[in-house]
Every structure is written in C-alpha cells, then in structure tokens.
Structure 1
Amino acid sequence: MAIYSQFLSAVAVLLQLSTIHIAYAQQVYILAGGPSPRPQCPASYDNIPATPTYKFSEFSFTQTETYRYATSVSPLRTTTTYAPPYRKLRTLIPPLKTTTWGNWNPNDTAATDTADPYGQAAWSSLWEWAAPTEFTTTGIYSTTVSPTPIPSSELVFPPKDYFGPTDCYNFPPGFIFGVAGSACQIEGAIAMEGKGPNHMDFWSRPGQPNNYVTNENYYLYKQDIERLASLGVKYYSFTIPWSRILPFALPGTPVNKAGINHYNDLINFVLSKGMIPAVTMMHFDTPLQFYASNVTYEKWKKPILGVGNGAYQNSTFEDAFVHYGKLLLTHFSDRVPIWFTYNEPLLFCDNGASVNTVIKSHARIVHFYKDVIKGTGKIGIKLHHGFGVPLDPKNASHVEAANHINSFHLDTFWNPLVLGTDYPTSFKMTIKDYIPLTQQDLKYLKDTCDFIAIQPYTASIISPPPGGIQSCAKNSSSEYFPFCVKRQSTNIFGWNFGYRSYSHVYTTPEYLRTYLNYLWNTFRKPVFITEFGFPVFGEADKKVIEDMVYDTPRSNYYLSFMTEILKAIWEDGVDVMGAIAWSFVDNWEFGDYDARFGLQVVDRGTQRRYFKKSFFDLVGFVRDRHPDYEQS
C-alpha cells in the first residue's frame, strides 16, 4: 500500500502496536519491458549458440510412464485426549434427558403420545409446522453402510500436468492439512432419526433442489472417511447440526440419543483410520424455533448485513447456543482437538444485535472450554472474506476503500475477540443499532481465539462507491450498503485478475500471500485457512466421468495457493497453522448442485464417488513436502 511520506515516521511507531491495521504488503503496478525473467534457467544457458545443430538419428519410442499409488494414512499408534471424557464432565451442565424419535414424512399420523410435550407427536409437529415444500425422503440408504476397502485401481495417480510447482520448500512439522464438509450440504436424512428442522433445510431457490437427500453422508459417512484415509488425508473437518442433537433447540429439552450416538461413532471411526477430527458447531443451520411463528417471512426477509437471516438477533439465541456448545464440548472434546463455534457468521447476521450475540456466545463457549473443562485443544471462529485490494494502489481513495471493507469484515469480530479492542469505525458508522461494548466486555472477549481462521477463496478488487464511503454509510437504500465499496473482478487494464470459476471465485494466489501477511501482522496469531476451493467453469455440464474427474483448473488453483502458503511461511515469516480444502466431495451448494467445489464427483443416481485429479495433485503436493507423513 502506498503511504504518504509525511506519515512514514508515525507509521514506524504504530506498526509496533497490534491494534494498528496496515496492509503494508499491497502490490502495485510497475511498468516492465523486455522478456519475462526465467529464474529457473542456470547461467550456463546464456552460452548456448544462437543457431541449433540439426541431425538425423534412428527413431524409437523412448517415452516411459511412471505411476504412483496414493498412500493411506497410518493408524494412530497412541491415543491423545484433549479433555476429560463425558462421564467426568456431565456434572458441568444441567442434567440432560435423552430420548429417541423416529422418522417423519408428510403422511405420518401414527404418533399418539400427544400428552408428552417432547414425544413423537410433538417432534412430528415440528415438521408439520415447518411444512417443507416438495419434501422427499427418497434415497438409496436407510441405515449406516459398512465401509469397504478402496481398490488399488482407484488409487493410481493421474498423469501430471506439464507445468507444475517449482518450489523447494517443505511444510513445517505439525502443519495441518485436511478436507471439509458441512452437514446441511452432504448429510441428507433431514427428517430421520429425530433430527428437527433447521434454517438450511428450507434454503433453496424456486425450482432448485433442496438438501433433503444430497450425498446421503448420514448413512455413508464411514465409506466417505475410508476414502479420505485411503488417499492420505490427515484431518477431517465436519459440522454437527444443532437440530440433530436438540430437535427442540432450547435448554431443558431432550437430547436426541441417536444424534449423540451418530457423531460419537463418526469421531471414533475418524480416529480409527488414523485421522484427526475438527468440529464446527454452527454452519448456518439455525433451528427453526428461533424464527418465531412466521417461518416464511423470516426465512426470506432481507437482512441488513448478510445474505440471509440466521436469527442470531433472537433474544433467546445466545443462551441456547451456549448451552448447545457446552453439550458438544462435554460429549466430544476428549477426542476432538480443534473446534470452531461459528462458520462465516457475518453472512447470516441480520443487524448489530446479531453481531453482539455471535461474539458474546463465542466467548462464553471458549471460556467454558478453557477455564471449566480445561481443554487442551484449539478453538476459534471462522470468518469469510475475499481480501480487498485497491483497484489502483496509487489512488488514496482506493486504498481507503480496501481498508474499509477489510476492517468491516475482519475487525468487527477479531478486534474484540483477539485484540480486546472496540468495533472498527467502518462497522459503527454504518450499523446504527450496534450494541456498544464496555471495558468489562472487552476484557472478557479478548484472546478467545487461538488462531485466525479465514476462508480466502479469492480476492476482491475494491474502489469507493459513487459519492464516497461516508455518504453511502448514511444511506441504507444505497445499492452498495452496508459495505459501501465497489467490487469488481477486472484490473485497471480490463483483465480479469485471475482465471474465473463457475461463480465468484478467481484464482488469485499472489493476493493470498499478501493476505496472509496482513492477517499475521495485524492480529498476531497463527493463521488457519479453514476453507478454500474452486468450482471449475462448466463442470456440471460435462457428460462423462472421465471429463468430470480431469479438473486441471482446480489443480492449478490448489497448487498455486499451497505454493504461496509455503512462500508466506519461509520468506515472510508468517505462522500459517494449516489449510483445509473445500470440499471433499461435490455437494449441495445452497440451492443446487451446479457449483461443484468437490475433490470427488458424486453420481447422484448411485451415490458412487470418484476421485478427481485435483485430489491426487493436492494430496501429492502436501505429502511430498510434509515431514509428518511417511515418504513413499
């Protein structure tokens, strides 16, 4: 970022303060002429004669093809625990009543226990009240499928791309590498085995499929984990939906025994395969009870801040979510070393009260984990953000706009939760109903994130809106409100700033390195990339599996991002804790299956999975450079 000379001396001092946010590593446009540099070419090549010598020789086929099998994760030799087991922690939460419920369909009228406020009839009435449209339970499976070994024929690496990484770095010991999925996007079985209705079960576009079946991971989870382990994935990040554990949502209501058993079994199976689980508590799937009586209106009401209304502003939400978080931690934290309270909360914040609920409920859960349970794992909150970079780095108003959007997205949460400082001006000047934080609040909130968890799918090119940021912030009817910047994907010369995917994602690896520097030097905690991925343009239109699995653009995305992570670690001194790829399988992307982020194809008629080329390329890249993996 260009800095005016009169501020240079002040900046030298302010950079020492962790509360000052300066994107010091911003790229600028520099005129270049002549040939592109080729640093990989040794100096001896300069002595090659200008004219080649031509000759004849006897022809023969000299090409050889090497092949490699994926190496599975080795079973753990020792079992690590991160907190006492549930039997020792159960007294830390109010007494729990567990029960079991059956399944629901629109024609189900069999339940007769109407006197029980939490019986089968009451549970069924939740679904009758929600009235999902075009509901179907049609799937292939209705019980957990036993896993089978992956045949070696599926584990052969595909041919390498001609151009590939040229780095010479290795990942540091302990660097986390894994893949992710979320329950509402892969599990299906939404009204089965006692699960209650939640927000995501009704998040769809007219004429598009909902998540009623998706990948049937609820029944196929063991086979899915078997596939990940066989390819060499070490960490599996997944979500536990609140409504499958507490279908009636609120404290004091019964716990779904089938839900507890399911995730106990899932965690144990992950560990048995030599993998390590990471759990997210809230991935947009708010139980419907928090939307009061008018479900349809609340579901579609345009929020002030996000793309949807997660009902976080409901006055009962904070205590209820904290209770749910405590329930998960007491049951599973002995075996789970990594926890996330919220996934991308700003996307489903309605207003200032929503943000207040998120940060305070997060902090309460973290204090319970650290101070009461004495958990030794790591815990944080995951934020989404396409790093804002100025359209013209030499234009002060563009730099101001980039800093504005970055502070709005990031500082709104990490100022209080990491630094113990107040909300940024960008947030307070725009969201008039924000709830002020007291000094006591800030002291309680500070340092309740063990890492900076970010999901940097791509970057955003930023400039100020017409009339400027200040004017926009006062006008909630502006098309640029509430973030009050212009976003675009082309640079000042009209070029897309990276290869474009199906949707909003562009391949922007150099900006990732800049972003990692910004996060590390601003918040001064390890940076954890908890999602990143790429939906190849036109992938859903491909007709044959051979074309679907040969996804070179996705390989280029992952390998370029991983290369820049290595550069940030070794050349910039950034502590990058790990990287989790989204997603381990094509899934339901909030309304359809067209944006395919998966590292595996899914045949939705048979639910069979196929490894994509990018999965092999990504795993191979990490294993070749990671000391924690056996080299083969």
Structure 2
Amino acid sequence: MRVSVASIPLLVTISRAQQLFITTTGYTDRPQCTLSATSPSYHFQSFSFTLNDTVRQAHILRPALQWTANRPRYATSVPAPTSIRTYGPPYSEAIHHLTATPATTTWGNYLPESTIITATDTKDPYGQAAWSSLWQNMKLENYTTAGLYSTTVLPTPVPSIELVLPPRDYFGPTDCYNFPDDFILGVAGSAAQVEGAVALEGRGPTILEKLAGPAQFKNYVTAENYFLYKQDIRRLAAMGVRYYSFSIPWARILPFTLPGTPVNQQGIDHYDDLISTVLDAGMLPIVTLTHFDSPWVFVSSHDFTTKADIGATTGGYQNETFVDAFVNYAKIVLTHYADRVPIWVTFNEPFLYSFNFAGANNVVNAHAQVYHFYHDVLKATGKIGIKFNDNFGVPRNPSNSSDVEAANRYQELYLGLFANPIFLGQQYPDSVLNTLPGAKPLSKEELNYIGNTSDFFGIDPYTATVVSHPAEGIDACVANHSAENSLWPFCVVEETTNVFGWNIGYRSQSYVYTTPTYLREYLSYLWNTFRHPVFVAEFGFPVFGEADKELSDQLFDTPRSTYYLSFLSEILKSIHEDGVHVMGALAWSWVDNWEFGDYTQQFGIQVLNHTTQERFYKKSFFDLVDFVGARLSSPS
C-alpha cells in the first residue's frame, strides 16, 4: 500500500474507525530480485501443452544425483568402488586388544507356542534351552514372527519409472550457498524400528519388546529390513544417498549381555555383510551402538511403577553392571568393524532412558571408556561421538531475564548433564547437582579422563520449546519433589506458543513443529557453548494424518519437503553467515517405521506397505536429494 503525504490526514481519520495492517518493520524483502521493474507487454502466440515441464527423471551417474535441465533422465547402474578406505586395524589385529577372545556360537529361533525347550542342553548356561528361556520368561503380548521372509532377499534393480521426479513446488529456497566438500548428508534409521526378526537367528530380548506399546504394536515385524537390507541399500543408492546410518542391537551380538558370554556368530556375520553392502553401493556407513534397545536383563526386575527422575523410562543404565557390560559389547563390535566404518555413535538420546542421575553418570563414564578404546587402543582414525535429544528451549520473552534463566536451566538439564564433562571436561551443572537425588560431582581425575571424549556434538533437533519462569519460582519448584509437581525436575514452564499466542511452527502428527529459524539459533548455541563440530544426527517430520491417506497423497508430502528444505537452508546460513561448523545432517527416517508404539506417526521419506513390504519413494526424498545435489561444491 502506498500512502501519499496529502492523504495522511484522511488516513488518520480512517484509522480512528478501523485498524490497518501496516508492518512496522517493512514488508518482506526480496534480495533475489535484482532487475528493475518493467511494464508487461501483452501479445498473442501459438498455444501448446509444452509450456510447463511435466516430467522430470533422475539420471544416476554416481552415488549423488547429477542434474541436467529439460532432458529425459533415466537410472543407470553404479559400479562398486574399486577400493575401500580403512579407518582402523582389521579384526585379525584388533581382536588382540581384548583381554580374552570371546567364544562364538549360534542359536535358533524362538517361535511362540511351538518352541519347545528340550532337555538335551539344559545344563549349558548359554545353550539353546537357556536362550529360548530368555524369551519365554518375557511373556510378550501380541508376539508373532509372521513376517514374509526368513532369509536374506537378493536385491533387484530399481525400475526407472520409480525415479520419475514429482512436480516441483511453486515456491522454493532462494539461497546461493553450497555445502562444504566434507559435509555429511545421509539418512538414518534404527534396528528396533525397521529390522524385525526380533527373536530370530539368536537375537536376545530387549526392553523395547516389553515397554513400547504392545497394545498398539500387533507384531514385531516392522519393515523386515533384517532380511531386506540388500534391496533397501540398493533403493537408497539409486536415490543418491551418500551416508547410511543404522544401529546394531546389543542383544543380537550378545544375547546373554554380560562379559564372558558367547557372541552370536550370525549377528556378527549379518552386520559384516550389511557394512559391505553399504560400501559396495558407494555409500558410507554410520553405526550407533545402542538406540534405546538395551538388553532386557538390566530391567527385568525393575519396578516400572516407580517414576523416573529424568527421561521417559529406564534403559537399565543405572544398573551397577551396565558400564562394564556396555564397554565389553562396544569393544567386540569395534574390533570387528572399526576398519570399515568412518563414524560411530555410542548412545542415542541417553537422557530419555537414563531414569536417574546414576543412569546418566554411567552413560558419561561408559561413553568415555569406549572413546579411549577406539582412539587410544585401536588407534582408529574415524570419528566417534554421542548424540542427544533436546527440543531447543527458547525463552518466551528473550528480553525477560527470568525467562532467559529458565531457558538456560532447561538446556543444562537436558544437555549439560552429559555435555559439560564430555565436551568441556567441566563439572555437572549446579542445576543438576542441586536438583537430582543422589547427584554428586566428578573428581578432577574423572573430569580429565572424560573431558574431550567426543569428536562431534550429535543432536536430534526436531523442534523447539518455548520456556518461561514458573510462577512459584525455580527454587520453590526444585524443593517440591513430589508426584503432584509436574514441572519437576526442569522446574520451568514449557509451551509451544510464543508470547503473542502463535504456534512456533506448523504442527505435525506429534510434538514436532517446523522451527527452522530456531534451528539456526540452536546450532549457534551448541557450537559456541560446547565448541565441537555439530552433527545433526536426526531431523524429520511426521505429516499430520499421513497414515490415513491414499498412497498417492502419502507420496506427495509437501509439508515434509518444506521441513527438510527449510532446515537445510538454515544449516547453510549457520555455516556461511554464523561461522558454525555443522558437520552434517541425517534425514529421519529412510522409511516409515515403527515409532515405539504404533505406525501412525510416519517420519519416512519412503512409504512402507506393511502387508506387502513394498517401499515407495516420497516427494520429500526427491526434493531432499535435489536440494543437496544442487548445493554440493564438488558432487561425487
């Protein structure tokens, strides 16, 4: 709206009768519009239906998409790499760093109502009867192994028709930044959420089979990736994925969990072949050692009516045997695969399953021991770190010192609990020591050992939280450690609307709001506070009601594309404008999976048909790869 000087008195008169929207900060700037305005020239021309580009196809030259405008593009095969870079000693050398070479064995399958524990090996504490008893004693609800597959499925080529790109969105990013040459861009998933084969081929029981929504989770099949991994890897490679992040279940490597118990040879062989398959496809693997799926033995006697001090539930981390057992498991996995895996994650989001201060303290100590084994003993040259959950706490009113104090406290309890000692070699925050029962400071010797034991700061920044000071004050809240005090232990008010009542972003199926501008602020906070490269180890968006839509509507997932492209745009600004070292980003998840209770929250960039196990590329997958491919300084 243009207002002449002569019209101002009239405008003032009108404004007494009604309010007018005139932005006080100026209308949206358009820096990309560098040409001066011109008047249109109207004219006639011959009409045809070729005005718009209606078909776009992908031409796969290498494990990253190469784009050529206005040409038909089809998929071609990618030759396997001629050489594989190594990051540590091979297993034949690394095994000598273990105090004793672990015994290996194999077990069968546990099939409910049909597995009979025979008397032939009942005296063997680690025999088939003992292994079957692990499952029988869990008394699982709704348990079934009724998947489509019982052995590894050989891959088939991805049909070219599946690589036809979706129509472009009308609006898109307008940045001119590129990703650094060493930027890590890939996709992520976890074993419990995609593998299936829960009680097959020697895998032992984990907490997730028992704790995560058995009433909704009617089977334990998920995406059957345990048998379909070769096809899944081929599908990801065909889309130009560069890094593939997965987790290895502790209970599939050591069904009896503790040091000195036998290693499952079938599990070792499976992940050995999975890693080789990833490398042969021209991608690089990223491995997480535990992704919520602690062995059940740690919590089998736990009273689950006891409220957790921190987190959602227990992962058994507070168990007195946990540290030694986890370090032993990690050493076995690292000796087998450290030579071919460039990036390792010890714990996924440990806050959620720590249960209390003892659990968090055990995570800190276990992580540090694994880090030292990897770098100091194996002399491995890859990267190893830890990743956290945290919906970035932003003060409701940044000009209000009380709200800023509340936001800082929120971050200290979520992140400082682990990150102060691990990244800075500094003591647990006072807010932790003064709040959590049993909390005690680390000694100077412990801090020296634990400090600087992560090569990157892994974070899963799905969204943000608006934080403000509680009415009764923080100190009064901390003193009221009772079941009725819902604010304890954070003792701050958490909301999803800003000070003006607006949601902080577009609402998803669950807790996630699109919060790209807060992401940039968050990355700056992490880099400048903990002073390590930041790794966005998961980010994703469950479109509201997607599971109830027709397939074609699930595939056309524009809200998810908006989320991914806006987050990546802010990462680029963070790198180029704020000087933040963002190491990489992994899209969660590469397929619709089991979200710890049901399948209605779909985070995937591929649709999964749970009946046929077919996968279908979503629009967001193409948009994600297109965005990155156009912004690589030197695409591979």
Q: Same fold (TM over 0.5)?
A: yes
- 1:403 partner amino acid: N
Q: Distance in 2 between matches of 1:434 and 1:455?
A: 26
User: What's the counterpart of residue 502 of structure 2?
Assistant: 495
Distance in 1 (CA, whole Å) between partners of 2:102 and 2:41 is 84
Correspondence for 1:373 among 354, 378, 384? 378
Q: How far does the alpha carbon of each residue in 1:82-111 deviate from its partner, in whole angstroms, 9 at most, with x for none?
A: 111111111211221100000012221153
One-letter amino acid matched to 1:406: Q
Q: Does the 8 Å contact 2:433/2:441 carry over to 1?
A: no
> Residue 293 of structure 1: SS of its match in structure 2?
coil
Partner residue of 2:277? 269
* Secondary structure in 2 matching 1:622: helix
Residues of 2 paired with 1:618 and 1:574: CA distance? 22
**Which residue matches 1:42?**
34
Decide which of 301, 317, 326 is 2:331's aligned counterpart.
Answer: 326
What TM-score do the two structures reach when normalised by structure 1? 0.91
Aligned to 2:435: 430
Per-residue Cα deviation, 1:497-551 (whole angstroms, up to 9, x for no partner)? 1111000001111111111111111111111100000000110111x21111100
Offset of 1:156 from its aligned partner?
Answer: 1.5
Aligned equivalent of 2:287, options 279, 284, 296: 279
Counterpart AA for 1:612: K
Is contact 1:302-1:309 (8 Å) kept? no
CA distance in 1, matches of 2:597, 2:49: 51
1:63 matched to 2:13: no
TM-score normalized with structure 2 length: 0.91
Q: Mind listing any 5+ residue stretches in structure 1 that lack a counterpart? A: 1-29
What SS class does the counterpart of residue 245 from structure 2 fall into?
Answer: strand
Residue 573 (structure 1) aligned with residue 561 (structure 2) = no
Which of the residues 490, 493, 513 maps onto 1:506?
A: 513
2:530 to 523, 530, 542: 523
CA offsets per residue over residues 589-612 of structure 1, 9 Å max, x none?
Answer: 000001100010000010000000
Q: Mapping of 1:227-246 within 5 angstroms?
A: 227-246=235-254
The structural deviation recorded for 1:459 is: 1.0
How many corresponding residue pairs?
Answer: 593
Aligned partner of 2:628 among 609, 614, 622: 622
The alpha carbon displacement at 1:484 in A equals 1.3
- 1:363 matched to 2:368? The reply is yes
Question: Cα offset for 1:61?
Answer: 3.9
Shift, 1:333, TM fit: 0.3
The letter for the 1-side match of 2:531 is R
For residues 16-95 of structure 1, the aligned pairs below 5 Å read: 32-42=24-34, 44-45=36-37, 48=38, 59-65=47-53, 67-69=56-58, 71=60, 72-73=62-63, 74=78, 75-93=80-98, 94-95=100-101
Name 2:402's counterpart in structure 1: 397
Shift of 1:625: 1.0
User: Is the partner of 2:192 in helix, strand or coil?
Assistant: helix
1:540 and 2:529 matched = no
Indicate if the aligned counterparts of 2:391 and 2:464 stay in contact, CA closer than 8 A.
yes
* 1:167 counterpart (169, 175, 178): 175
Tell me if structure 2 keeps the 8 A contact 1:510–1:564.
yes
**CA RMSD after TM alignment:** 1.6
Tell me, what secondary structure is at the counterpart of 2:510?
Answer: coil
Task: Find the counterpart in structure 1 of residue 569 from structure 2.
Answer: 563
Instruction: Give me the whole-angstrom Cα distance separating, in 1, the residues matched to 2:32 and 2:299.
Output: 59
Quickly say closer, same or farther: Cα 1:76–1:343, change in 2 above 3 A.
same
Which one of the candidate residues 552, 558, 575 is aligned to 1:552? 558
Match of 2:13 in 1: none
C-alpha separation in 2, matches of 1:597 and 1:628: 30
**AA paired with 1:111?**
T
Distance 2:612 2:25 in 1: 55
The one of 601, 611, 616 aligned to 1:610:
616
Q: Is the 8 A contact 2:117 2:132 kept in 1?
A: no
Describe how 1:183-222 pairs up with structure 2 within 5 A: 183-205=191-213, 207-209=215-217, 212-222=220-230
Contact kept in structure 2, 1:415 and 1:421, CA below 8 Å: yes
Q: What code does the residue aligned with 1:489 have? A: T
Q: More displaced, 135-144 or 76-85? A: 76-85
SS class of match (2:165): coil
Give CA-to-partner distance per residue, 1:421-443, whole Å, 9 cap, x none: 00112211210311320000000
For residues 264-321 of structure 1, the C-alpha deviation after alignment (integer angstroms, 9 at most, x for no partner) is 0100110010110011001111111112435xx34x6431101011111100111000
Q: Is the 8 A contact 1:353 1:435 kept in 2?
A: no
Shift in alpha-carbon separation, 1:393–1:145, aligned structure 2, 3 A? same
The Cα of 1:32 is off from its aligned counterpart by: 2.6
Cα distance, 1:458 vs structure 2: 0.7
Contact 2:433 2:440 in 1 (8 A): no
SS at 2:111 equivalent: coil
Give the match's secondary structure for 2:564.
Answer: helix
- In the other structure, the counterpart of 2:104 is 98
How far apart, CA to CA, are the structure 2 residues paired with 1:313 and 1:276? 34
Measure, in 2, the Cα distance between the counterparts of 1:280 and 1:201.
19
Separation in 2, partners of 1:471, 1:70: 62
Output the amino acid matched with 1:523: F
Instruction: Specify the alignment match of 2:5 in structure 1.
Output: none
Q: Are the counterparts in 1 of residues 141 and 214 from structure 2 also a CA contact under 8 Å?
A: no
| Structure 1 counterpart of 2:308 | 303
The residue type paired with residue 28 of structure 2 is: S
Deviation at 1:172, TM superposition (A): 0.6
Offset, 1:40: 2.2
